[in-house]
Structures are given as structure tokens and as C-alpha cells.
Amino acid sequence: MPSHPHVAIVGASGAVGQEMLVCLEERQFPLSQLTLLASARSAGQRVTFRGEEITIQELTEDSFTDIDIALFSAGGGISEKFGPIAAAAGAVVIDNSSAFRMDPEVPLVVPEINPEAAKNHPRNIIANPNCSTIITLMGLAPLHRHFGLTGIIASTYQAVSGSGAQGIIELDQQIGAITRGETIEKNVYPHQIAHNVIPHVDVFQETGYTKEEQKMLYEGRKILGLPELKVTCTCVRVPVMRSHSISATAIFEKAPSVAAARQAFENAPGIKLVDDPEKALYPVPLDTTGKDDCLIGRIREDQVLPNALTVWIVGDQVRKGAALNAVQIAEIL
């Protein structure tokens, strides 16, 4: 890998693609050239990067000549088709979709947790985990290192931007319609999301869990190297614009304590302790939006399960849950 690689962003016109641009610029990523790729509909749009305008090009099978790193954020179908093409052309693909996450030859990487995994990528593809999985494990990995994680009971509170721009638009329109006394329209979600919560993210499986809920189980096992990790999760869509929140009860091999947990977070990269309930200090979505760090608070010993702590974790799912994590992987390369 050259010290100043030629980087491409696939899906450069989307929300995560745009956030990747921001992260590359803010972190002064040492690239030699930047190529922006998207669908024919977006081709021709101009984007400013480091004071210069770059024209978005149409994504084709010939787009990856001389590309060193390709950041993919255009959906699973695009990744499945063009990811192997980019990898065969010599680029290392960092993919934000679920297309390759469970492939045994594709590392699944959170740089603060398992950075060494990014260095072994025999298919020239590295996968970005699911956003809720990243945010949850950012909070639990420091505890795992101290106490030995064996199980997770989690509920997620997921912002509408997790559904893309249309989720934001639908929430906005429904709030406006309520204010004006007009009829509510539902297109993105099966129920009204304004003034409501919906315990339904992704499609339901035969088990009764959704695919989103199962991701925390399978991806958590792979990232932490814990094939026997037990996870039960309920994912809920909430009327919040951006940043996901997770309530997690973590079960450990060793008896944890709140004091030791606090100490574990003191030097943990990418995670910040916000935990003074008497002063109403705890993580909330607005405090993480547009920020790199995930926040953790409400740390307390669980009153039902032995060797367990219950915590509250919040992070920007567009940034650390997607774009920033991908750029951090590129920095490892």
C-alpha cells in the first residue's frame, strides 16, 4: 500500500459517502488522488474537497484502474457486484454493507477493538460492521478486556436517518402534518413514526428476531473472537433524527464493579464516559451527532443477573457507525 494512496468512494452522493468525505478532510488523510463514484443519476454533480471541486463519475466495471483503497457505501447489491471487481483490479475494498460481513475470508473490523484483523484480507475486502453493533461494542469491549464478556441483553433506539434520507423526510412531514391537523402519510415505516416508536428494524426471521437484531449476535462473535457469545436484542426505531442509543446488560465471567468499569473507560479510545446522573449527565443522541466518540453512562450493577453490568451507550451511526469507521480502517492500511 503506498503511503499516499489513490482513494475512491463508491456511493459518494449518499449520506454516508458525504460523511466519508468530511472524515477524510478533517483527519487529513494522506491520499494522492480522490475519485468519486455513484450512479448515472448522480454523475456530473460537483463536490468540494480540500478547496477543490471534484466531479462525481458514473460507477462502471472499469472504474477501479489504479485505485488503492475503495470505500463502498452504496448498498449490498452494488457491493456484491462491484466489490470483487474492485478487489480484482488491485484495490482494497472497505465495504459498509452487510454483503461480506460473515464471509470467513473477510475481516470484520472496528479499529479500536480488533485493528490487527484489517491486516489480513486475502480477498482484498474488509467489512464495516453494522452501525448498532459498532456502537454497542465500543462500549462493551473495554469491559470485555477486564471481565470477560459472555452475554449481552440489548435494546436499541435507532434514529430515522438509519433508514436514509427518506426516513428523515417522513418524520419531518409527519410532524408537520400533526401540527397542521392533516392526514399522516406512511411510506418508509409500517406505522407512524412521529410521536411513536416502532419495534421493527429490518425484516423478521423465523426465529421472531429481525435481521438487524441477529447482526449483533453474529457480528459481535466475529469481532470479539467469541464464538460462544450469547446475545438477545430488540431493535426499535425512534423519532430521533440522528445517533443511535443502546441499553445493554453485559454478563461477564468475572464479577465486575462500577468503579472498575469506570477505570476501564479512562484510556479507552473512541469512548467517553458521561455518567453523573445526579447532575442529569448521561449520553443523549444530540450530544453525539457529528462527533467521533461514542458516549457511555448509566453504569450500574444489574439487579437480576450475577456478574452483570447495565450501561447506556450512544453514538452517531452515520459517523462512527459507518463513515468514520471505514476511514479509520483505511488509516490502518
Residues of the chain with CATH 3.30.360.10: 133-317
Q: Which residues are identified as catalytic?
A: 131, 244
**Mean pLDDT on 122-151:** 97
- Condensed to tens digits (0 to 9), the pLDDT of residues 262-294 reads 999 988 999 999 999 999 999 999 999 999 999
How far from chain centre, in Å, is Cα 132?
6
From residue 16, alpha-carbon distances to 163, 201, 221, 234 in Å are 12, 19, 25, 24
6-128+323-332 is a CATH 3.40.50.720 domain: yes
C-alpha cell at 322: 459507518
pLDDT of residue 200: 98
pLDDT of residue 267: 86
pLDDT of residue 258: 97
Phi, psi at 68, each rounded to 5° = -95, -40
pLDDT of residue 165: 87
- Condensed to tens digits (0 to 9), the pLDDT of residues 38-72 reads 999 999 999 999 999 999 999 999 999 999 999 99
- Condensed to tens digits (0 to 9), the pLDDT of residues 7-24 reads 999 999 999 999 999 999
CATH superfamily of the domain spanning 133-317: Dihydrodipicolinate Reductase; domain 2 (3.30.360.10)
pLDDT of residue 229: 98
Residues of the chain with CATH 3.40.50.720: 6-128+323-332
Residue 268's SS3 state is: coil
Q: Burial of 238 by CB count in 10 Å (0-12 exposed, 13-18 middle, 19+ buried)? A: middle
pLDDT of residue 72: 97
Judge whether residue 325 has pLDDT over 90. yes
pTM: 0.95
Judge whether residue 310 has pLDDT over 90. yes
